Amino acid sequence: MSYFDFAGSTKIVQLLESSTPADGTVEPSYAAGPPIVFTQSFDARPYIGALIVVDAGAFGANSDVTITLKKSAEPAFSSWATFDDFEGDTAAFSKIVGGTPGAGEVADNAYYFCRIDLSKTQNAVGVQVVTSLTGLETCNLGITAILFPQDTTDADEPQFKV
């Protein structure tokens, strides 16, 4: 009899290092190697599920960030399309703001997450980060993906599911 250590097969990928991203839009990408380099993305093929965790630290009062999930279906990882969530809407986190949140927005200094069924993509998953910083504003933002080789449904009430 053999045993398979599922916990040992779980992989953690840092999609965006905890820092202030550049003002504007950062897209997921892939550079064929050697070395093979994924930027704001990961190879989803060996896994069946993922948990994307957004660590929204302190934002300046006039800072905001929107994070959208992207997928690449073709083998070269050169074309990225937006995921749809279970309801058919764009798979994006609510806009995170440094000031008082308005309708459809959420506050900084919090964690947000979503759960992804990786059978919804063929090859790669990434995040598009759109940052709006006014003047000298900053935002402390980190994004991590936890990849699972088996079904894990014990994450309660994510912002959305894909």
> Which CATH number applies to 20-148: 2.60.40, 3.10.20, 2.60.120, 2.30.30?
2.60.120
Segments making up each domain of the chain, as ranges:
20-148
The secondary structure element, H or E, covering residue 129 is: strand 124-132
Q: In which residue are the tokens 């449904």 written? A: 153
Kindly tell me the number of DSSP H helices and DSSP E strands found in the chain: 1, 13
Under DSSP, the state recorded for 110 is E
122, two tokens: 């063929």
pTM for the full predicted model:
0.84
User: How far is the C-alpha of 79 from the C-alpha of 61, rounded, in Å?
Assistant: 35
The pLDDT tens digits for 86-143 are 888 999 999 999 989 999 999 999 999 999 988 877 788 999 999 998 878 889 999 9
What is the mean predicted confidence (pLDDT) over 68-75? 87
Q: In which residue are the tokens 């997921």 written? A: 28
User: How far is the C-alpha of 32 from the C-alpha of 17, rounded, in Å?
Assistant: 21
* Residue 159's pLDDT band (cuts 50, 70, 90): low
Q: What is the mean pLDDT of the chain?
A: 84
In sign, the C-alpha dihedral spanning 51, 70, 46, 153 is positive
The predicted pLDDT at position 4 comes to 46
